[in-house]
Structure 1
């Protein structure tokens, strides 16, 4: 099993969490000179924190399933710089958020699957990441479905709504049975060897293919209708989410509708 030093939380992660907390305080108190920039820092920081927790869930589950090499790779420190592909794990997901308002974690931790016995364990390792996004979404939306919004500033409420949208989209997309995504990882152990071998070459392109398909207006509309339906069931109005996205993209200028409606 991993030693204490291999599980010590990284200063890099603590720094990201601290910036997120300060930015969140700026959004809550409206203290920042540029409230839109504070929203950008808060949502981006919280999104990166959730990415780290997503990958940590994969790693921790793999460790308890038999891959004792996880600790030596630094995956249990929550340090995003330790991931196998920092570009896929952090940079691209943040760009996806900026470009399309879509939360989509990328591939990150390298798991030595040969050390793990049992198909259920392999499936659970893959499911652990998006299940973390589900939990994160429930936490973000707790003030909404608990009807505890009294006293919550509109700017912070909107930022939470947009952050919840990112978590819901991440959970839904990652559970798709597309090669390269966690959903395929859940079902892969149950497929025949020949099917797995034939799919293997296209797995690296699954993430990009999904993002490209979401640029098709018809598919994009269907997908986001489903996302907003989930958010409505959790008490989050679309107006709040859209205003959160509007504040997040502060460089485009504030929408008069959001400024008036709060």
Structure 2
């Protein structure tokens, strides 16, 4: 439903200026960098390692924006109209509540460990959203975006690899697909404070919900503790590698991609 603002001015959508729904210049710049660096890597323009670095990092940041946008748009449709005023529907990563955790930390972990760490944080007014199922759908929307991104990248890789372009381009694409896969799995783990935990939180009884809320602020610490444990970390990566093999992601190809983005070592 759209209505004009009394006395002229910018039209409103359900009482919210349309500017709140427009993609931000920051996001559009990231998309442009992703496309341009992809073309550069395809053609091995200049330093191809830098090309792949820009391609993977910008693609990863675009996926973070889409992940958080999915949370925000589902929350908006579920009843939290104020989320538009907080800037989350513009896909601007600088609007997230924790820029360091949302942008810097995930990129550092990608470069050092080759893991798609969950990032970003949009604040949702849970009191404005009725029903437990809607709360679960809000939390599910982000990981679903990562899953969809994974499947699209794998499909492009399986159809296009060997039909043109440089090996470096396809290695970067394979690495980006692998990062999306790890992000999908990590986001779906039932860890308090992460999306997987937030999906089940509304269905817990009051006692368990209070305990969950107590541990939720330490979700990232809990996640690192789980991955640091040799046995649990081994199970996690064995599972991720098994899914990657099932999808047809060549291990050697995303390993090459990981080596390429560390251009300072080459």
Task: Please indicate, yes or no, whether the TM-score normalized by the shorter chain is above 0.5.
Answer: yes
- The alignment partner of 1:69 has SS state of helix
Computed over aligned residues only, the root mean square deviation of the Cα atoms, in angstroms, reads: 1.5
**CA shift for structure 1 position 148:** 5.3
What is the TM-score of this pair, normalised by structure 1?
0.91
**CA shift for structure 1 position 147:** 6.2
Map 1:75-154 to 2 at 5 A: 75-146=88-159, 149-154=162-167
1:5 maps to what in 2? Answer: 19
Matches of 2:218 and 2:108 in 1, distance apart?
17
Q: Which ranges of 4 or more aligned residues in structure 1 deviate by more than 6 Å? A: none
Question: Contact (CA 8 Å) 1:24, 1:38: kept in 2 or not?
Answer: yes
**CA shift for structure 1 position 97:** 0.8
**CA shift for structure 1 position 220:** 3.2
Matches of 1:206 and 1:107 in 2, distance apart?
13
Question: Contact (CA 8 Å) 2:157, 2:173: kept in 1 or not?
Answer: no
**CA shift for structure 1 position 217:** 3.8
Cα distance per residue 1:96-124 (max 9 Å; x no partner): 11221110223510000001111110000
1:213 maps to what in 2? Answer: 226
Matches of 1:99 and 1:180 in 2, distance apart?
24
Bigger-Rg structure (1/2): 2
Matches of 2:52 and 2:231 in 1, distance apart?
30
For structure 1, the residue ranges without an aligned partner over 5 or more in a row are 254-262
Question: Contact (CA 8 Å) 2:191, 2:222: kept in 1 or not?
Answer: no
Question: Contact (CA 8 Å) 2:161, 2:170: kept in 1 or not?
Answer: no
For structure 2, the residue ranges without an aligned partner over 5 or more in a row are 1-13
Question: Contact (CA 8 Å) 1:60, 1:76: kept in 2 or not?
Answer: yes
Matches of 1:188 and 1:176 in 2, distance apart?
13
